[in-house]
Structure 1
Amino acid sequence: MTVNTPLRVVLTDINPKVVEAWRAAFADHPEIEIRKGSILDEQVDAWVTPTNSRGRMDGGVDAVIKRHLGAGIQLRVQRAIRDEFAGRLPIGSAVCVSSGAINPKFLISTPTMEASVENVSATLNVALACAAGFQAIHRQNRDKPGSITSVALVGMGAQTGSVPARVCANLMWTGYTLFNDYSFDDYDELRATIIAQLDDIENAPADKRVRIARPARKR
């Protein structure tokens, strides 16, 4: 099903290399707002935070958001992971929970790594996480239309995941353009689609951007 969602998207990070890489990768998407700064300053409906599979908010942006929103946010994230994924959130999945605050109203947690600190620079985790974050927005708006009309994301995997800025930006571009075209029935379908088409991306140049095409449905 093709989806056209009027979603305001903000990319913000304190790392100037990530911001510069975003500007190059998203040059043909003037609708994307890109700026250097903290996600805490963004007035949007949802923040997307890169996390680990257990939802332990003890490092990177996760820890910053936990300090800002309070310890209860980790409990809500981990409860959602337990209820929806039996306690372990797979790469390429996400949970969307109430933040307990006015801004943002929702926090979307999507893992870029299994553990709290892990080098994921040679993986597709950033593309999977970014796409899963947008899939969570689709799901939330499907259940409660108009819940999320604006979202802010940081450079996924670029800090504790050791992903180079250009690779991070290009994989996030892949996740964003996939969201722009499709909503998936479930996270398994999303993961399978990305992995099948990006499996050999490690052999591509660092500045290569890959647009995912959704496979034709079997009749």
Structure 2
Amino acid sequence: MLWGVTADSGRSADGAEPELQLVLCALDEPLAAAWHDIADSRAGLSVHQGSVLDLQVDAVVSPANSYGWMRGGIDAVYARAFPDVEEQVRSAVLAYHGGELPVGEALLVPTGAPNPIWLISAPTMREPGERLPADTVHPYLAARAVLRLLASAVLENGTPVRHVARSVAMPGLGTGIGGVTPELCARQVAAAWDEVFARVEQL
């Protein structure tokens, strides 16, 4: 079974702080430092310096390409850890989006493993191996798609995604072959978090 949601979905219903625990992962010190800059002042965010797969979480984020190929970077790590997940992602992209999942949208698929149970595919680039421009907003669009999926998507059985994916591990978005700097990635993820989960203080 496959599930999907687009980045055009609405924000969380009441604007309250999320129950979601988002773990921002980094293998290197520059990205870890950039993650700390945004996480230390936001409830629900934490930082892990090490592999995404070190963690016990409900879901992991795949900063994929629009076609669902998982042949490089962290996606290749996921494909080795979860042998059927690339086929799941590509099948979902075909079923829901005619073979191309645009940047700014996200899909949820099962990994086939007990931990993590889910993988969220959120493209940061259209083509595999694409180098992103210095002024790209793709990390923001990908992060917003992930967070909106977690906040408001519903599984086919009617269960809100937020009830089954309470803890999520996210690697850098576009910081590998995409060439996005750690600081730009972190700022854009923070902007997406604040947009989706901002508390409404006044009308």
TM > 0.5 between the two?
Answer: yes
CA distance in 1, matches of 2:63, 2:86: 13
CA distance in 2, matches of 1:3, 1:77: 30
The code of the aligned residue for 1:99 comes to: T
The 5-angstrom pairing of residues 139-158 of structure 1 reads 139-140=153-154, 143-145=158-160, 146-158=163-175
Deviation of the 1:141 alpha carbon: 6.4
* Corresponding residue number in structure 1 for 2:4: none
- Are residue 114 (structure 1) and residue 126 (structure 2) matched? yes
Percent of residue pairs identical: 32
Structure 2 gap ranges (5+): 1-12
Higher relative contact order (CA closer than 8 Å, sequence separation 6+): 2
Stretch deviating more after TM superposition (96-105 or 31-40) = 31-40
Deviation of the 1:26 alpha carbon: 2.7
Query: What do residues 150-201 of structure 1 show as CA deviations (whole Å, max 9, x unaligned)?
Result: 111011111111001111110111112222139xxxxxxxxxxxxxxxxxxx
* Corresponding residue number in structure 2 for 1:79: 91
Could you say what secondary structure the match of 2:124 adopts? strand
CA distance in 2, matches of 1:6, 1:86: 33
* Corresponding residue number in structure 2 for 1:206: none
* Corresponding residue number in structure 2 for 1:69: 82
Query: What do residues 67-101 of structure 1 show as CA deviations (whole Å, max 9, x unaligned)?
Result: 1111x110100111111111100010011001101
Task: Give yes or no for contact 1:140–1:147 (8 Å, CA) kept in 2.
Answer: no
What's the RMSD between the two structures over aligned residues? 1.9
Task: Give yes or no for contact 1:141–1:148 (8 Å, CA) kept in 2.
Answer: no
CA distance in 1, matches of 2:146, 2:63: 9
Deviation of the 1:30 alpha carbon: 4.6
- Are residue 33 (structure 1) and residue 50 (structure 2) matched? no
CA distance in 2, matches of 1:101, 1:87: 25
How many residue pairs were aligned? 183
Structure 1 residues 83 and 3, CA, compared in 2 at 3 Å: closer, same or farther? farther
